[in-house]
Structure 1
Amino acid sequence: MKLLRSRRTASDRALQRRLVRQAASLLLAYPDEGHGARLDTVEQLLEHVTGPEKDVLRAAARALGEPNLLSVAQQYVETFDLRRRSTMYLTYWTAGDTRNRGAEMHAFASAYRAAGAEPPAHESPDHLPVVLEFAANVDAAAGEELLTRYRVALDVLHASLRDAGSPYAGVVAAVCTTLPPVTGQDEERARRLAQAGPPRESIGLQPFTLTVPPRADRTGPRQGAPQS
């Protein structure tokens, strides 16, 4: 009976992680015409979340429920596309626009294919909402491994959003609670990364070919290459 209870508890925790990651993925998506429907889905998911992440994600959803969709979209672009220190392209934190980024992005695409899913056709495989969707709905273990590998980047992203007073800060914070605790070494790496920011573009190198061009309905810089 005790073993059964332990397994059930582990199963419940796994379900909670999936729910939080799915809700976060929807909240971190670009607010296009499907924004309202995604917020409704988030509310439905949160009915089944039992931890403190529920209130954090619900507060973010309400803050993003601004009726003026153009305003929300502009805020999104200003937050994630125009500031290098709040990019959601995870490999950009560790490799910038260098050749090393190609190998790191390939690792994401390979993980998706190994789980039986094709990488997204219209978004970079390392984009945080994509990784969260994968972890929530396709392969929880492989998705968590990818997220944990970039845990330091997530912590720095959260700090940047928090310092900017962004409603998205709580969403990233909720994601971090689904991952293993940080170590002292992680904290030191986060401190150094926060000070230096993502690596600068390397002179003479061509951008990685999988970098996604801007969508027709978005403004701002090229996807995958946040500005300073």
Structure 2
Amino acid sequence: MTDRTAHARVHMAASVLLSYPDERLAEALPLLNAVVAELGPGEPARRLAAFLGHVATTPPADLAEHYVATFDLKRRCCPYLTYYTYGDTRRRGMALLRFQQAYRAAGFDVTGELPDHLGVVCELSGRGATEQAVRLLREHRAGIETLLRALREEGSPYAEVVAAVLATLPPPTERERQAALRLAEEGPPAEEVGLDPYGPNAPSLGGRR
């Protein structure tokens, strides 16, 4: 299995696991476990296996409650990547358009969710556009690392899924390291002006359903 194929499988598994944990997750568990087992040794597989172990031993109602409490109610655990760079500013709307254009160029349509959701970007990779997805992930690596830090501080098992995604990326460049440090120190911009440039009916922040 090539690295690209392995990374695409890690990303597809992460996409499913970053969705709201309803009956579809329960139905997908056998396939997810098989995919992770086929990945062999390595950090991404180990991280995903840890989360799958948590899912296997946690009642579905508790999984759903934790998902909502983490991703819907804690802004610091926001799964929308452009939020970390632009906050709720008009510049974020333009960044969302860039994500949408990248998906369209890859022949991938996003419906019912903002295109910068980490799970949606991972799905793009899992469906074959791994190069485009990895480029988006690297451009927003500082946000992903900030999300991972927040999940770990909250003691959330979802940190394992985000860590698995990060483990598929090349080592950070100096520029990426500096961006992560700045974001950790300053946080996202706080201007509250909505997402008008993206469209009047853009979904608000909240968990992926």
Give the structure-1-normalised TM-score: 0.82
Counterpart of 2:152, as a letter, is R
Q: Is the 8 A contact 1:94 1:198 kept in 2?
A: yes
Q: Which amino acid aligns with 1:86?
A: C
- Please tell me whether the aligned partners of residues 85 and 197 of structure 1 are also in contact (alpha carbons under 8 angstroms): no
Residue 33 of structure 2 corresponds to residue 32 of structure 1: no
Question: Structure 2: how far apart are the matches of 1:98 and 1:63?
Answer: 36
Which residue is equivalent to 1:18?
Answer: 8
2:81 to 66, 90, 96: 90
RMSD: 1.8
Report whether the alignment pairs 1:74 with 2:62.
no
- Residues 60 and 168 in structure 1, CA contact (< 8 A), matched pair in contact too: yes
Pair 1:85–1:206, CA change in 2 (3 A): closer
Unaligned runs of 5+ in 2: none
1:138 maps to 2:128: yes
> How far apart are residue 24 of structure 1 and its match?
1.1
Corresponding pairs, count = 203
Q: Deviations over 1:114-141 (max 9, x none)?
A: 11122x2111111110100001213111
CA drift at 1:184: 3.4
Cα offset, 1:60, TM superposition: 0.6
1:68 deviates by: 2.5
How far apart in 1 are the matches of 2:187 and 2:55?
A: 27
One-letter code of the match for 1:23?
A: A
- For 2:195, the aligned partner's letter is P
State the 1:96 CA deviation: 1.2
Q: What are the ranges of 5 or more consecutive residues in structure 1 without an aligned counterpart? A: 1-10, 214-221
Deviation at 1:67, TM superposition (A): 4.8
CA, structure 1 residues 33+152, in 2 after alignment: closer, same or farther (shift >3 Å)?
A: same
Structure-1 residue corresponding to 2:154 = 164
Give yes or no for the alignment of 1:43 onto 2:27. no
1:53 to 33, 36, 44: 44
Shift of 1:183: 2.6
- Structure with higher RCO (Cα < 8 A, 6+ apart): 2
TM-score, structure 2 normalization: 0.89
**Distance in 2 between the 1:58 and 1:89 partners?**
24
Cα distance in 2, alignment partners of residues 199 and 74 from structure 1: 29
2:206 corresponds in structure 1 to 223
CA displacement at 1:38 relative to structure 2: 2.7
Aligned to 1:196: 186
Secondary structure of the residue that 1:142 maps to in structure 2? helix
Q: Secondary structure at the match of 1:64?
A: helix
2:203 matches 1:212: yes
| Structure possessing the higher radius of gyration over alpha carbons | 1
Deviations 1:63-119 (A, max 9, x none): 12345222211101111121222111011111111111111011111011111122x
* Deviation (angstroms), 1:178: 0.9
SS in structure 2 of the partner of residue 34 of structure 1: helix
Amino acid at match of 2:11: R
Contact 1:117–1:138 (CA<8 Å) still a contact in 2? no
Deviation track 1:194-216 (CA, whole Å, cap 9, x = no partner) reads 233322133xx343335325xxx
Q: SS state of the match for residue 188, structure 2?
A: coil
What is the one-letter code of the residue matched to 1:17?
Answer: H
Counterpart-to-counterpart distance in 2, 1:147 and 1:67: 30
Change (3 A) 1:190 1:68: same
Partner deviation per Cα, 1:174-197 (whole Å, 9 max, x = no partner): 111111211333223222312333
Q: Which amino acid aligns with 2:170?
A: P
**1:173 corresponds to:** 163
